[in-house]
Structure 1
């Protein structure tokens, strides 16, 4: 009578070992995911800082181009009011072009294709 009882306890022991093994595996997978997330966040922060530097340099360059053009126009005798109005118009047009590019990019950021690929919608 004791043989079946020992089979049951060894089966329970094997099941317990399997559960423990799967728990360890799952914990290592989650740990790897957490480590990957930490690396991604650190890299993203570094990328954001570098992009802020690039934006600052590009903005400074743009302002220097406008200032240089204004100085050249001033040296050729253009009126100061005309130079300022032209610089304002160029800056305003640049902002409009950038806003158009932002809107176009936002419209292209459509996640419905990914969602449809994951959860297909049944058409009637």
Structure 2
């Protein structure tokens, strides 16, 4: 005959095993999320540093192009007000294009790979 306490001990050990398996799974899922976040932050910091250099060079180039165009237009007799208005309009339109590119880039920055690794969809 079995001891009367063996069945509750078996259920308790099964519950402990399930809890341990779920705890292990949760740790691995959180570890995956933390690893991807760490990689994302490191890559973002590097990208930010590189983009600061690129922005400085592009801004300097853009200002030189506008100044050269203004000087050329001035030498051909265009009015100063017309030159400044044209430069302002071109700069404003360029900022709208850059704003569109920023919004598109931010839209593409998501964590779908992590979500797909944790909870795969039926389509995969």
What is the TM-score with the length of structure 1 in the denominator?
0.62
Matched residue, 2:26: 26
Matched residue, 1:68: 68
> How far apart are 1:64 and its partner, in Å?
1.4
What pairs with 1:39-118 in structure 2 (closer than 5 Å)? 39-73=39-73, 76=75, 78=77, 82=79, 84-98=80-94, 100-101=96-97, 102=99
- Moved segments of 4+, more than 6 Å: none
Matches of 2:54 and 2:66, distance apart in 1: 18
2:3 is paired with a residue whose SS is helix
**Bigger radius of gyration among the two:** 1
Matched residue, 1:116: none
> How far apart are 1:22 and its partner, in Å?
1.1
Distance change in 2, residues 1:77/1:58 (3 Å): same
